Amino acid sequence: MLVRVTIEDLVRLRRARDVMDRDYAQPLDVPALADVALMSPGHFSRSFRAAFGETPYSYLMTRRVERAKALLRRGDLSVTEVCFAVGCTSLGSFSSRFTELVGESPSAYRARGHGAGAAIPACVAKIFTRPLRNGPSSGGGQSSGGGASPGNGEPVRIGEAESAGAS
């Protein structure tokens, strides 16, 4: 099944993605984000994946892990406090996803020295410490699934989209 993402859809999807970037610590779900994008939940999930290369949930968890990494580098909060501060409600799920994306547990990440990067502005550090999917947590990379950003005004056609239920 091909999913067609028009420029108008992409604008609405970016609006929902901006909500996830800004309100990552709030309880967000697909129906609420679909409302922001003025789409049905199923269409929103399929279109989001087609446009950005990952599900809305996966994108949101990546943002939460990015913020968690920054809080853990500070070292003044426990892993549990960081988990809840970034909007996760289950320490086990948070730790599993963190380990999957970063390559080490939140406790190990927190215990490791981060002094060498202290002088780097957070906006720059975020680019080089962004969690990678299906790969090691080496610097310089971006999250896989860069998605489509049409520059010629044409609709984007993406291959197999996930089913609406898996988000």
Per DSSP, the residues of 103-134 read: SS-HHHHHHS--GGGTTS-HHHHHHHS---TT
Residues in the chain: 167
What are the structural domain ranges in the chain? Answer: 3-53+151-158, 61-128
**50 near 158, Cβ under 8 Å?**
yes
| Alpha helices (H) along the chain | 7-22, 30-36, 41-52, 56-74, 79-85, 91-102, 106-111, 122-128
61-128 has CATH 1.10.10.60 classification: yes
For the chain, 167 residues long, give each residue's pLDDT as a single digit of tens.
677 889 999 999 999 999 999 999 999 999 999 999 999 999 999 999 999 999 999 999 999 999 999 999 888 899 999 999 999 999 999 999 999 999 999 999 999 876 665 556 666 766 666 666 554 444 444 333 444 434 444 443 333 333 334 44
CA 148 to CA 50: how far, in whole Å?
Answer: 8
Distance CA 76, CA 35 (A): 37
pTM over 0.85: no
